[in-house]
Amino acid sequence: MNKKAVILYSSGLDSTTCLAIAKSEGFDPYAISFSYGQRHSVELELAKKQAPIIGAIDHLIVDFDYSKVGGSALTTDAPVPKDGVKDEIPVTYVPARNTIFLSFALGWAEVLGAFDIFIGVNALDYSGYPDCRPEYIAAFETLANLATKAGVEKTGKFNIRAPLLNMTKAEIIKKGLSLGVDYSLTHSCYDPTPEGIACGKCDSCRLRLKGFAEAGLKDPLQYME
In the predicted model, is pLDDT for residue 22 greater than 90?
yes
Give the percent of the chain with pLDDT over 90. Answer: 83
Give pLDDT, residue 1: 60
pLDDT of 152-204, one tens digit each? 999 999 999 999 999 999 999 999 999 999 999 899 999 999 888 999 999 99
Q: Which residue has the higher pLDDT, 111 or 44?
A: 111
Q: What pTM was estimated for this model as a whole?
A: 0.94
Predicted confidence band at 2 (pLDDT cuts at 50, 70, 90)? confident
26 and 4 Cβ atoms separated by less than 8 Å: no
Q: Give residue 63's identity as a one-letter amino acid code.
A: D
3-state SS, the chain, equals CCEEEEEECCCCHHHHHHHHHHHHCCEEEEEEEEECCCCCCHHHHHHHHHHHHHCCCEEEEEECCHHHCCCCCCCCCCCCCCCCCCCCCCCCCCCCHHHHHHHHHHHHHHHHCCCEEECCCCCCCCCCCHHHCHHHHHHHHHHHHHCCHHHHCCCCCCEEECCCCCCCHHHHHHHHHHCCCCHHHCCCCCCCCCCCCECCCCHHHHHHHHHHHHCCCCCCCCECC
Residue 35: name the closest of 121, 101, 120, 108 by CA.
101
